Amino acid sequence: MKRRSFITLLGGAAGLLTASRFAQAQDYPTRAVRIVVSYSGGSSPDLVARLVGRRLSDRLGQDFVVENRSETSPNSVTEMVVRAPADGYTLLLATSTNAINALLYPNLSFNFINDIAPVAGIGRTPVVMAVHPSLPARTLPDFIGYAKANPGAIKLASSGNGTPLHLAGALFEMMTGIELVHVPYRGSYMPDLLGGQVQVVFTTIPSVIEFIRTGKLRALAVASATRADALPDVPTVAQFVPDYEASAWYGLSVHRSTSSEIIEKLDRVTSAAVADTKSALAGLGVEPIIKPG
């Protein structure tokens, strides 16, 4: 075969491949898409994923099904998405935990930075410090004073060792000089928190806002630089512990080898879905990430 003819055939094949990928993106999705969440139902990531997932379903005409995998670690859930087909039908609800784990666990069988592609940001949320009402502390200074007078008497719940919420609590301990007993949970800590078996948590606002509003939990402070719109009467931690700040974020991601056309389509539609749910997200205490234009 002459060199010119061979190059022409290569160019034609490349054109067909590009056209095929574009056609797949145009048709996508043709069946249900799953959003894998490494947290239990009712958690902040779960609520955010379901809220945005419903809008994605409305806009794309296929079900976006939230799949909770709280029985396994966030690393195992991420690996499941890495091992899934790179066709855009398995999405990961990425959180701050994924970024932290990329540093904490350098010897995983996958690389979060290299193997997972970001699709779109959804929102950020400040951390709130909430306590069981039985705890004799109505303000943050009260809490610090009680903890110093009773070292090791207060149990701190978290969603696991090394998670952003565990680190938020550990940072607070370090900056205030108090001693709490850390109780990590693989599933939901909420039943024990509401029952008073653990007394304090540093958590995202969406997971506890209704319990705070109904008096089942007491918010002592938010960890953002300024007061949260969802809890305007709650002071910031930094008012009493200078320079303390903690927050979390949520976004959608997908297998790195997914076609750029599908990723771009998901990006556009997710951004529109976030804009659609802006008020609902804000009501949960999530600051939506709205792309300009």
Q: Tokens standing for 49? A: 């994923």
- How far is 288 from 44, CA to CA, in rounded Å? 14
Please check whether residue 75 is in contact with residue 38, taking contact to mean a CB–CB distance below 8 angstroms.
no
> Would the CATH topology of 3-125+249-288 be identical to that of 126-247?
yes
Q: Which fold has domain 126-247?
A: D-Maltodextrin-Binding Protein; domain 2 (3.40.190)
- Within its chain, how far is the Cα of 291 from the centroid? 18
Using the predicted structure, report yes or no on whether residue 18 has a pLDDT greater than 60: no
DSSP-derived letter for residue 234 is S
State whether CATH 1.10.760.10 applies to domain 3-125+249-288: no
107-148 pLDDT per residue, tens = 888 888 899 999 999 999 889 999 999 999 999 999 999 999
Count of Cβ atoms closer than 10 Å to residue 196 Cβ: 13
Instruction: Please identify which residue in the block is written with the tokens 């750029």.
Output: 260
34-61 pLDDT per residue, tens = 999 988 888 888 999 999 999 999 999 9
153-191 pLDDT per residue, tens = 999 999 888 888 899 999 999 999 999 999 998 778 999
Count of Cβ atoms closer than 10 Å to residue 39 Cβ: 25
Helices 260-276 and 3-27, packing angle to 10 deg? 20
Q: Whole-model pTM? A: 0.76
Domain ranges, ordered by start, for the chain? 3-125+249-288, 126-247
Using the predicted structure, report yes or no on whether residue 19 has a pLDDT greater than 50: no
